[in-house]
Amino acid sequence: METELQEAVAWGRQRLEEMGVLAAQDGLRWAAAHGLVLSVWRNGPIEDAHAARPTNRRKGMPDGVMFARNTWLTRQAFDVLGSTRQYRLYGLERLILDRDTEWPGCGGTLTEFGWGFLGEIQKHVKKRIDQFTYFEEMLEPDDFLVFAGAPQIGTHTDHYGMPQWPSCVEAALRRLRGEDEEFLREWGDLMERIGPAPDRVTADIDAAGRLLLESPWELGADVLEWFAWNPVLSKPGIPA
């Protein structure tokens, strides 16, 4: 088991290096934060709640809400992984399973968005946190970050906090200013169908860019709904 685990960590480290993660500032910790959020939160029963129709007890959870929630949780996971406290991951568990605190930028709580799935969400989160805590005790600190980052290996390098995120945000700002002619030629018709960017973005594109870069949830779920699955945030020079 120990040999297999070390071999898996060595493979994961190699892949993360190939992705440019290890060369980025705090890149390994960001990758681990993404891996944690994917395993503990995103790839779980919350996806069923996200896909389900709203009811008189459960609020709808469109892509903008998920964008805000996932980025906020990734930031919390990043901060938790910078802590030296023992059993630090249980602090992340408490944040995720807090049923009463309004989600930043979302206008609702876990109870309101997850009603009907709360028991399954709690079971999933606790199980995954227990698993990660077990392996954290077995591994050296950096090796654990590699292990935690494994669920997102090969994906999400262009997501919030990851190495390509700043270039995606910068590309989006150029496109919003109408400075990317190639993008307009390829995606102009689609962007017309999507409609103009929200007023909060166009009123101060630079300020919106700073929030996208550092704390997207502060733009609010309604604004992030426009950005979700929108080619304006795609990698520069690569078709969306």
Kindly report, residue by residue over 82-141, the tens digit of the pLDDT.
999 889 999 999 999 999 999 999 999 999 999 999 999 999 999 999 999 999 999 999
What pTM did the predictor assign? 0.94
Q: Residue type at 182?
A: E
pLDDT beneath 50: ranges in the chain: 239-240
Q: How far apart are CA 2 and CA 4, in angstroms?
A: 5
Q: Which residues contact 192 (CB under 8 A, 6 or more apart)?
A: none
pLDDT at residue 156, as a whole number: 75
- In Å, how far from its chain's centre is CA 148? 14
Each domain of the chain, given as residue ranges in start order, spans: 2-152, 165-233
Q: Which residues of 183-222 are buried (b: 16+ CB within 10 A; e: fewer)?
A: beeebeeebeeeeebbeebeeeeeebbebbbebbbbbbbb
Q: What is the pLDDT of residue 152?
A: 67
CA distance 235 to 240: 7
Report how far apart, in Å, the C-alpha atoms of 238 and of each of 83, 146, 171, 176, 234 are: 37, 28, 11, 17, 7
- Residue 240, pLDDT score: 46
The pLDDT score that the predictor gives to residue 237 is 66
What is the predicted pLDDT for the residue at 1?
Answer: 60
